[in-house]
Every structure is written in C-alpha cells, then in structure tokens.
C-alpha cells in the first residue's frame, strides 16, 4: 500500500491474521489447487479456527461484530494469495447476509453461530439458467403446503454448491407477481428433494466450487422462510448491495498480488544487460498499475465504510466499488502477464492464473454492465443540477 | 490434567545479529517468530486438551520483546502463558536454558505432560527437551507423531531411524513432537483481541528461585572460542552466457566425466 | 581423573548401528593424539559379545558391555540412567554420541543429569595443544560461519551425524578388553514399554547412499517449480535433496534435508539449484565427486565452492537441462 489508511489496532490485527493464513495455508498450494480444481478444506479450517467466518456476524450470535470494511480487508488480503479461496470465503458471507438482513431472532440464533464458527459454510442461490442479469426472470417456485414449502426448479452457477451446508435460495411463492412474488428461504444440505448438480469447469477461481442446484419437490418446514412472502427480491438486492464491495476488495487484493509478483520479476529479470524494470515502457506500466490499484482500494474502502455508517442509499457506491475495482484488476493482471513476458504466460507462475481469476470478478455478483445500470439508475438521486454563470 | 508447552522465540531468518564478543545471538536486534517446530508441539497439546479437558500452559524463555509470541500462543489455544525473562538468562546454552524451564515446570504446577518442539531453527541442537526431562528426572520420548491417552499414561508412536515404534509411556513424561504430525492452527482473532490490551505475565530469576550460578553464560558449560568463515578454493569452472549455451557446456562436462 | 575417549556404541535392535564404527575412527584418532584409550559404552541385550569384539577390531581398547534383556529396545530413561552410572564410575575425558534417533534422545538426558556441556552435530574435532581441550566444530547459531566450541565440564560431550566420519577399518589382529558392566533390574526399570516396532516398508529417503544428489533451495521460487528437481533426479537416477528453508516452506518433507540437522551426502555428482550455500547446508555435503551449482549470483558461497558454477536463472537452466537430458536419453534409446 502506498497510502496509510489508518487502520485501528483491531483492524491491523485482523489483517495480520488473514495475511498469515494467506502465507502459510494458501500461497504454497494456490497453483496446485488451480491446476487440480480443488476446493481444499485446509485453508477453510484455518479461517474457521481464526474466527474469520464470524467477522461481520454480531457478537450475540457468536461472531466478532465487525462490519463490511473489516470483511473487505480480509477478502482483499486472502485474494493476494488466491482469489479462488477468497471466493469460497466471501460467498459464504454472501449466503449469510439474507439471514442477517431478514432472519427472525430464532433463525439467527439457530444458524448464525454455526456460520460464525465456520462449522457450516453458506451459499447464496439466485441465478438460474434463464435468469442471469435478468434476475427477475427466475422460475424456481416455492408452493406452500400446510406447514411446508415445496420447492421446484434449477439454480445455476452457485458458488459453494455442495461445499456449503446452508443455502439461501430465492424462489417464487407467487409466480403471477414476478419479482414481487419472490421469497427467500433457507435450504439445508440433505433436505429431501435437494440435489447438488454437476461441478462447473471454470476458466478461473478454480479453487472454489461452482455447481447447479436442483429442487424437485424439495420439502422444507415453513419456518425456513426468511422475512415475509414477497420480500425475496428485496432481500436479494440488499444482500448484493452489502456484498459487492467484497468483490471490489477481492479485485484489489488480486491486483496487488499480481503487482507484487510481476514487479519483483521485472527487477530481477536481466535483458540487454540490465533489469527490465529500468526500461521506461516497463516502469511506467508499473506506475500505472500501482495508481489504479490505489484508486480502486480507496473507492472500495470508502464504499465499505459508507455502508458501515448505516447509510441507506448504498447501491451506487457499492456498484461503483465492484465495477471499478474489477475492471482495474482485469487490466492490472493482464499487464502483469505482459510485464513478465513468457514467464507470465507459463502456469509455473501465478500471474496467468490471476488474470483468469480476475475475469470472473467482472462477471459474477452482477456483471459490470449491470453495475453501470445500477449506478446510472441511482445517479439522479446524487447528482444535483449545477448552474454556473 | 495439566500440560506445559515450551516455546522458543527465534530470529526470523535473515534478521539476526551476533555479539562479536560472546558469539551469542543478540536476540534484541532480531525480528522474532515462534520457532516453527514448536507450533507442532503447541498444536499437539491443544488437540489433546480438546479431547481430555486439560489445561495448557505455554512458557517461553526470552527477552521482553518476545511477549507478543506468547499472545499468539494464547490465541492458538494455550490457557495460560508465561514469559521467563531476566537479564541473568542471557547467553544461556541448552543446559542453562533447560534449567530455567525446569524451574518453571516446578513452579507453575503439577504437570502431567511437557511438550517441546523437535528442534529450533537457530540453534538446531534438539537438546533442550531431553535435558529438561533430565533436570526434572522425568522420562522423555522424542519425535512423537501420535499420542492418545490410555490408562495410567499415553500410547505414543515415535519416529525412529528404522521406522516407527509404538509404545506406552507412564506420566509424568516429556515429549518432543515430530513436525508435520499435525496441522498447527492459526491464531484466533477473538483470543488475540482479548490479549490486545493485556500484558503477558513475566517470571524472573528471582520469581523462579533460580541459583544464579546456573543461569545464563555463567551457568553454561559450553563456550564459543572462535568463529571462522570457511574458505573455498577457486578450482571452479564458471559457465556464463545464454541459458542454451551454458546447458550445452554443462552437458558436455557431465559426459566427459562419465556422469551421464 | 577423567581418562579416555568414549563412544556410545549403538544397539539398533538387530546389531550395531553402522555409525558406531564411524565414531570409532574419530575416537581412535583423538585418543592417539591424546595418547589415551578408546572406550566403547555398549548397553545391549545379552549375548552380544561378538558385537563387542567387533568394536575392538575396529579400534576400541575397552568395551563396557552393559547387558540386560530390557535393552533389546531403546528405553530413553533407563538408558540414560545407566549411562550416568557408567560415566560416574569410569569418567572419560571425551564422550562422542551418534546424532541418530537414539543418540539424540540419550545424549541430552545424560548431559542434563550430569550438568554437562554438550555440542550437537559436530562436523570436526581438534585437540587444543596446551590443555588437551576438545575443540568441537559446528556451524554457528544463526550465522553463516563455523564455530569452535569447548566444554568446561568433563566428559566433553558431542554428537556427530552419521556420514561425517569415515568408517573405522577392521583389524582382525586388534586386541582389547571387554568389561561386563553389571546391570540390575532396577537399572533397567523404565516408564516406557515398547509394544511394536514398525520398520518402514519403504525406508526413509536415504540420501547418504545416493550416487547423484539433485538439491534445491529457495531460489527455485515455488513449490511447483521445486518439483521439477524430481524430473531431473529421475533422469540422472539420483535423489532429491533440499535446504532447511525449503523444508520449512513446505515444498518438500524434512526427510530430504541436507545439512547440520539433516542428512550428510557424498555423491559422485551433486547439483545445487538456487542454493546460496549457507554453511548449515554445506556441512552436509562431504567429498562430492563433482559439485555443480546454478545461481544468478556468482558470489554465492555454493558457487564459490562448486567445481562447475553455472551463472544463470534456475528457471531457464533447469527446464533446458531436463529437456537436453531427455533428448540424449531418447538418442541413446534409438541407437
């Protein structure tokens, strides 16, 4: 970091622990997990024992009671080492948000302590084959039958599918109403009629698992409903508002990692009798990379702190942090590969993996095109006319 | 049950300086880390505590700036932590070090087990554990990779030069733990936060009732006479240039020598 | 008065540990310089007189044979108490232990009981000219130099890794004395009871006998790249060695470690890739036939010590070398 962001002693301590997990439990294995497409439980156990799954869960539910900002610090730090592992971590947080946002006291008491301890991982299930950017086009239904809801449908590209025990699922309780007929449910691994589908083969983030979820007459008790019927879409949008700075933080960490690897290489690599870093075409590229990373970091931190202030209209800030930082990470990782030349292109070195990982950050949790829709939709609220002269 | 774990602060490789007079490490000048092998000892103790409900007491002989490492030990599951720190301890060899640890073992309670790491990355003597057991007149088993409680003691598997041995050991006993026999946990953030404002309790030579003649350099029967840098004769053949060329030259040398 | 140069003759369950004969050769050398005797302290089960005789044929003047059925197994506590008793009755001037599993368990216990100095993993000894002091040489603590260490107590005790000294030559004509050291059941009492010995199906990585050793250090950059050494080792029919930092990084298990607390190697061909050459590593390489180092820094100690120093990036040189050797293998197969 070029800039000191004046972390509190608690925040420094959290970053130190996350960095240690990155160094000791992730860095030596990151390339192997990527190659073998393995979601290894070992770093997850370490994160659990370090209490980091409970970072933003309130103390009364067994968490540490910190906020979005601290969550971003941990995600950023882990992403330096492997954005796949940080995806598993962040996606569990994503799955926990609906319970935090809309869960009853009983639901919170039942689920949050398990999540905070890291004993149970979460997943968030909104996307469907025909409903990606157009999330309102979901078809999964939840029909009320006495004391139960019966779910039918397919969810697609669900991070932590099969790895998670607790799934927050958006389904239509009133298909006629469209988005306003959607509701949020807790579905648990092992519920009757709930089946994990095939594991996707991805370009990047290969240390995290992405699957389909099938619901065929999946019967769950009615107390699994989060909030009230019809609130599902609102809960989903609030969840994404809260989690998107986390994707931004992932992007910042990933880009930071690419900078560290490639800068070190450029200072060691001798061509034409001197380190390639001495050539202006190279050094200016690094200057540009560092500038963009720092700008994105400042935006991500500001958005996260803004959310933690309790502010209401956070959608635009959150979307900006996500889109700006992930576009930055794509650019920076691509440049990092270029700066390392042939080495950058080889799978023996981490930067090509970082470049593949970065691509997903522009796509998931709402494509960057959708983020711009969100920002544009919100702009009139923030941008007042200015008359000069 | 009550377990003691002995921890050593070691200089992070590359950060150490040496006293030119005594040739002992100037630990004050170095960035200190927990000796890597000791983390396996701590983890073994904490895992056994989780099975048996024992208390784990971590002790470390070291300078005041080693105290944060004991906070780390607390965050990794130790119930009590103590820094054994006194100017009189400076310059101790393994005998004087194990003497101080033996006093702590006697002062801090009736222990059933003592856990030590296999070897430190700075001294690399692997002596302190068994020496401590001798001071206490306890049995010891080194290079333990598995242990489980049985009636009257523990069943352990130790690594030997020939393979492994399974044995039963009566308590009290000291074990040194084989690295990689477990997966040491990272510190818990919750427990680190608890320690943020707290001081680590320190025990001095006086607190331990130590015999001054047994402490530090004075209590150490070994002395470093001299240090020297080995010199290497310049018989070498230097291969420089493009990678393809040097590899070709290297291959021809290996062929000439009949090595390939 | 302390007299004689003693060694711990190690009973390895089915015979003497070969390191016992290595200690004998150095003890003989020291005893000759001191005009003194070599004593072998030999706790073992009954009926091992022939082993005691072998110790004499390899240079011992006296063997103190302490026999008891319990010593079939190595019992740390009983063995150390017995040795303490033996040393108190017959105190040698110098006592050398092997730095084997048993030696490392035993020597510090003896040092602790007798309040003695003990120097671990020595690689050479000298005798002080004026005062007959044993000067014990080993890599210094935490710095990249060798240290000369002395003990102020007697016996002056040190441990030595297998492979550091040559095996003593056998002389069938040598004569010496075998003294039976009486052992009571109380002496053999132990808190330990061995239930089972499990010899390893595949022995631990034995670098000491490898003809070719391909070693790597932190300069290889990553665990994955380090793994390329196995490819090269396979091509050269050799074994993979490593420096301590690399083992601590988890790139490879400690079984592969060469150096002060690792193994000692003496191959016909030693390769060091990305190894700077800290003395802690170098002391583990004894008399290599040809030493090749690859490093970007020609000033690195290993590069200075090497017979062939390749100045270059290991990331370029290693893959090229592997490819070239594969080509050669292919050619010879076709021929």
A126 pLDDT band (50/70/90 cuts)?
very high
Q: Which residues of chain C have pLDDT under 50?
A: none
Verify whether the Cβ–Cβ distance C254 to B179 is below 8 Å. Answer: yes
User: With pLDDT > 70 as the criterion, what percentage of chain B qualifies?
Assistant: 92
Residues recorded for chain B: 260
B11 pLDDT band (50/70/90 cuts)?
confident
Task: Pick the residue of C109, C254, C281, C286 with the most B CBs within 10 A to test the interface with B by mutation.
Answer: C109
For the domain C212-334, what is the CATH superfamily, name and number?
TPP-binding domain (3.40.50.1220)
Residues of B in contact with C292 (CB under 8 A): 250
Does pTM top 0.80 for this prediction? yes
pLDDT of residue C333: 59
Q: What is the mean pLDDT of residues B172-195?
A: 96
Q: How far apart are CA A270 and CA A254, in angstroms?
A: 26
Contacting residues for A192 by C-beta, under 8 A, at least 6 apart: A217, A218, A219
Phi, psi of B62 (to 5 degrees): 180, 175
Residue A135 CA, chain-centre distance (Å), reads: 18
How high does pLDDT run on average in chain A? 96
Question: Which of C:28-67 have CB within 8 Å of B?
Answer: none
Contacting residues for B75 by C-beta, under 8 A, at least 6 apart: B187, B188, B189, B191, B192, B195
B3 pLDDT band (50/70/90 cuts)?
very high
Place of tokens 């991500």: A300
Task: Pick the residue of B33, B90, B95 with the most C CBs within 10 A to test the interface with C by mutation.
Answer: B95
Architecture of domain A122-232: Beta Barrel (2.40)
Look at residue B12 and tell me if it is in a domain: yes
pLDDT of residue C279: 82
Look at residue B227 and tell me if it is in a domain: no
Residue A104 CB coordination number (10 Å): 13
Q: How far apart are CA C277 and CA C279, in angstroms?
A: 6
Place of tokens 């070291």: B62
Residue B167 near residue C195, CB atoms below 8 Å: yes
- For residue range A221-242, list pLDDT tens digits in order: 999 999 999 999 999 999 999 9
Verify whether the Cβ–Cβ distance B259 to C290 is below 8 Å. Answer: yes
Q: Where do the DSSP E strands lie in chain A?
A: 122-125, 141-145, 148-159, 166-172, 182-188, 194-199, 210-221, 225-226, 270-271, 274-275
Residues of C in contact with B6 (CB under 8 A): none
Q: Touching check for A298 and chain B: CB below 8 Å?
A: no
Tell me which H or E stretch contains A330.
helix A315-345
Q: Which domain does B44 fall in, by range? A: 2-214
A151 pLDDT band (50/70/90 cuts)?
very high
Report domain extents, chain C. 5-180, 212-334
- For residue range B78-110, list pLDDT tens digits in order: 999 999 999 999 999 999 999 999 999 999 989
Q: What is the mean pLDDT of residues A256-262?
A: 97
Residues of B in contact with A270 (CB under 8 A): none
Look at residue B37 and tell me if it is in a domain: yes
Q: What is the mean pLDDT of residues B105-122?
A: 94
pLDDT of residue C203: 53
- For residue range A362-375, list pLDDT tens digits in order: 999 999 999 999 99
Look at residue B82 and tell me if it is in a domain: yes
Residue C271 near residue C213, CB atoms below 8 Å: yes
Architecture of domain C5-180: 3-Layer(aba) Sandwich (3.40)
Residues of B in contact with C115 (CB under 8 A): 95, 221
pLDDT of residue B240: 87
pLDDT of residue B109: 87
Which of the 8 DSSP states describes residue B79? S
- Whether the domain at C5-180 and the domain at C212-334 fall into the same CATH topology: yes
Q: Between A and B, how many CB-CB pairs are < 8 A?
A: 38
Q: How far apart are CA A58 and CA A116, in angstroms?
A: 9
pLDDT of residue C12: 92
User: Six-digit token pair at A99?
Assistant: 């319970």
Beta pairing, strands C62-67 & C38-44: parallel
> Domain A9-116 belongs to what topology?
Butyryl-Coa Dehydrogenase, subunit A; domain 1 (1.10.540)
Residue C153 CB coordination number (10 Å): 16
Tally of structural domains, chain B: 1
Phi, psi of B83 (to 5 degrees): -100, 125
A281 pLDDT band (50/70/90 cuts)?
very high
B234 pLDDT band (50/70/90 cuts)?
low
Verify whether the Cβ–Cβ distance B193 to A10 is below 8 Å. Answer: yes
Q: Looking at chain C, which residue has its C-alpha nearest residue A264?
A: C221
Residue B137 CB coordination number (10 Å): 12
User: With pLDDT > 70 as the criterion, what percentage of chain A qualifies?
Assistant: 100
Residues of C in contact with A260 (CB under 8 A): none
pLDDT of residue C127: 96
pLDDT of residue C92: 97
Query: Per-residue b/e over B80-116, b at no fewer than 16 CB within 10 Å?
Result: bbbbbbbebbbbbbbbbbbbbbbbbbeebeebbbbbb
Residue A283 near residue A206, CB atoms below 8 Å: no
Phi, psi of B147 (to 5 degrees): -150, 140
Using a 10 angstrom Cβ sphere, with 0-12 exposed, 13-18 middle and 19 or more buried, the burial of residue A48 is buried
Residue B140 near residue C77, CB atoms below 8 Å: yes
**pLDDT exceeds 70 at position B157:** yes
User: Six-digit token pair at A156?
Assistant: 């697609």
The CATH number of residue B135's host domain is 3.40.50.620
> Domain A234-382 belongs to what topology?
Butyryl-CoA Dehydrogenase, subunit A; domain 3 (1.20.140)
Look at residue B177 and tell me if it is in a domain: yes
* Min Cα–Cα distance to chain C from A23, Å: 10
Question: What's the Cα-to-Cα distance from C264 to each of B119, B163, B229, C141, C147, rounded to whole Å?
Answer: 18, 19, 20, 19, 19
Helical H segments across B108-197, by residue range = 128-136, 189-195
Beta pairing, strands B80-84 & B55-61: parallel
Determine the longest span between alpha carbons in chain B, in angstroms.
Answer: 68
Phi, psi of A129 (to 5 degrees): -50, -40
**pLDDT exceeds 80 at position A31:** yes
Q: What is the mean pLDDT of residues B228-240?
A: 75
Q: How far apart are CA B104 and CA B92, in angstroms?
A: 16
Three-class SS state of A40:
coil
Of C195, C301, C311, the CB nearest to B238: C311
Using a 10 angstrom Cβ sphere, with 0-12 exposed, 13-18 middle and 19 or more buried, the burial of residue C104 is buried
**pLDDT exceeds 70 at position A171:** yes
Question: Which of C:273-332 have CB within 8 Å of A?
Answer: 296, 315
Is 0.90 exceeded by the ipTM? Answer: yes
Residue A221 CB coordination number (10 Å): 11
Report domain extents, chain A. 9-116, 122-232, 234-382
- For residue range A288-317, list pLDDT tens digits in order: 999 999 999 999 999 999 999 999 899 999
Verify whether the Cβ–Cβ distance A28 to C296 is below 8 Å. Answer: no
Question: What's the Cα-to-Cα distance from A282 to each of A333, A350, A356, A365, B103, rounded to whole Å?
Answer: 14, 19, 22, 33, 60
């Amino acid at each position: 970091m070029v800039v000191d962001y004046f972390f509190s002693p608690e925040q420094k301590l959290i970053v130190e622990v996350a960095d240690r997990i990155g160094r000791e439990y992730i860095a030596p294995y990151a390339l192997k997990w990527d190659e073998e497409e393995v979601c290894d439980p070992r770093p997850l156990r370490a994160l659990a024992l370090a209490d980091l799954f409970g970072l933003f869960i309130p103390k009364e539910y067994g968490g540490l009671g910190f906020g979005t900002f601290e969550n971003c610090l941990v995600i950023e730090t882990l992403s330096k080492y492997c954005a796949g592992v940080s995806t598993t971590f962040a996606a569990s947080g994503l799955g926990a948000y609906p319970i935090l946002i809309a869960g009853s006291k009983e639901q919170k008491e039942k689920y949050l302590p398990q999540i905070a301890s890291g004993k149970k991982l979460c997943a968030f299930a909104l996307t469907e084959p025909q409903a990606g950017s157009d999330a309102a086009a979901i078809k999964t239904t939840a029909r009320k039958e006495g004391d139960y809801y019966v779910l039918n449908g397919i969810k697609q590209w669900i991070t932590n599918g099969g790895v998670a025990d607790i799934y927050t699922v958006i389904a239509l309780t009133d298909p006629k109403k469209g988005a306003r007929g959607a509701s949020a449910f807790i579905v648990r691994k092992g519920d009757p009629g709930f089946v994990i589908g095939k594991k996707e083969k991805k370009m990047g983030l290969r240390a995290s698992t992405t699957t389909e979820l099938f619901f065929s007459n999946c019967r769950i008790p009615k107390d699994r409903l989060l909030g009230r019927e019809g609130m599902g879409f609102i809960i989903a949008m609030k969840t994404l508002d809260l989690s998107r700075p986390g994707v931004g933080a992932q992007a910042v960490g990933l880009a930071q990692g690419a900078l560290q690897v490639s800068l070190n290489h450029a200072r060691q690599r001798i061509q034409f009798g001197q380190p390639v870093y001495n050539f202006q075409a190279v050094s200016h590229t690094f200057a540009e990379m560092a500038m963009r990373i720092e700008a994105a970091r400042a935006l991500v931190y500001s958005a996260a702190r803004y959310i933690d202030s309790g502010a209401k209209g956070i959608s635009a800030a959150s979307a900006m942090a996500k889109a700006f930082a992930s576009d930055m990470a794509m650019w920076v990782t691509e440049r990092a590969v270029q700066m390392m030349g042939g080495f950058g292109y080889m799978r023996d070195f981490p930067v090509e993996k970082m470049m593949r990982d970065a691509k997903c950050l522009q796509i998931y949790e709402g494509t960057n095109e959708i983020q711009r829709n969100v920002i544009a939709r919100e702009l009139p609220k923030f941008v007042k006319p200015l008359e000069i002269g | 049950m009550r377990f003691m774990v002995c921890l050593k602060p070691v200089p992070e490789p590359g950060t150490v300086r040496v006293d030119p007079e005594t040739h002992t490490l100037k630990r004050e000048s170095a960035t200190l880390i927990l000796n890597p092998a000791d983390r396996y000892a701590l983890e073994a103790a904490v895992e056994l505590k989780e099975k048996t409900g024992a208390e784990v007491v971590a002790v470390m002989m070291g300078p005041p700036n080693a105290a944060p490492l004991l906070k780390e030990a607390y965050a990794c599951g130790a119930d009590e932590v103590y820094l054994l720190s006194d100017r009189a301890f400076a310059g101790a060899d393994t005998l004087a070090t194990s003497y101080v640890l033996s006093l702590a073992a006697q002062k801090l309670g009736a222990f059933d087990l003592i856990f030590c790491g296999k070897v430190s990355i700075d001294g690399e003597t692997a002596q302190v554990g068994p020496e401590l057991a001798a001071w206490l007149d306890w049995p010891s088993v080194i290079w333990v990779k598995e242990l489980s409680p049985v009636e009257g003691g523990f069943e352990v598997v130790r690594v030997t030069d020939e393979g492994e041995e399974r044995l039963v050991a009566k308590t009290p006993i000291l074990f040194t733990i084989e690295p990689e026999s477990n997966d040491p946990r990272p510190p818990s953030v919750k427990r680190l936060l608890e320690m943020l404002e707290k001081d680590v309790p320190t025990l001095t030579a006086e607190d331990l009732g130590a015999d001054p003649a047994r402490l530090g350099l004075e209590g150490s029967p070994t002395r470093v006479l001299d240090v020297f840098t080995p010199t290497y004769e310049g018989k070498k053949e230097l291969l420089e240039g493009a990678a393809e060329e040097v590899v070709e030259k290297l291959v021809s040398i290996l062929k000439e020598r009949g090595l390939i | 008065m302390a007299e004689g140069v003693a060694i711990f003759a190690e009973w390895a369950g089915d015979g003497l540990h070969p390191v016992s004969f290595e200690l004998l050769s150095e003890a003989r050398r020291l005893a000759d310089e001191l005009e003194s005797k070599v004593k072998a302290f030999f706790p073992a089960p009954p009926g091992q007189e022939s082993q005691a005789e072998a110790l004499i044929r390899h240079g011992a003047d006296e063997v103190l044979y302490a026999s008891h059925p319990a010593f079939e197994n190595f019992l740390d506590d009983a063995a150390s108490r017995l040795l303490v008793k033996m040393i108190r009755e017959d105190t040698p001037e110098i006592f050398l232990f092997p730095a084997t599993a048993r030696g490392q368990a035993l020597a510090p216990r003896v040092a602790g009981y007798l309040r003695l100095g003990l120097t671990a993993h020595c690689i050479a000894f000298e005798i002080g000219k004026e005062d007959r002091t044993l000067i014990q040489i080993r890599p210094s603590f935490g710095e990249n130099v060798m240290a000369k260490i002395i003990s102020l107590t007697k016996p002056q005790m040190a441990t030595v890794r297998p492979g550091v000294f040559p095996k003593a030559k056998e002389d069938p004509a040598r004569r010496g004395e075998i003294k039976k050291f009486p052992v009571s059941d109380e002496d053999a009492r132990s808190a330990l009871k061995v239930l089972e010995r499990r010899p390893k199906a595949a022995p631990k990585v034995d670098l000491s006998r490898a003809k070719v050793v391909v070693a790597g250090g932190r300069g290889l950059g990553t665990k994955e790249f380090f793994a390329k050494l196995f490819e090269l080792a396979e091509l050269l029919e050799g074994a993979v060695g490593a420096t301590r930092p690399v083992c601590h990084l988890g790139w490879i298990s400690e079984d592969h470690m060469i150096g002060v607390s690792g193994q000692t190697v003496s191959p016909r061909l030693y390769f060091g890739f990305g190894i700077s050459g800290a003395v802690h590593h170098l002391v583990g390489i004894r008399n290599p036939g040809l030493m090749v180092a690859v490093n970007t820094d020609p000033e690195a100690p290993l590069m200075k010590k090497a017979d062939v120093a390749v100045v270059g990036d290991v990331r370029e040189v290693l893959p090229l070398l592997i490819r070239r050797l594969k080509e050669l293998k292919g050619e010879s197969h076709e021929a």
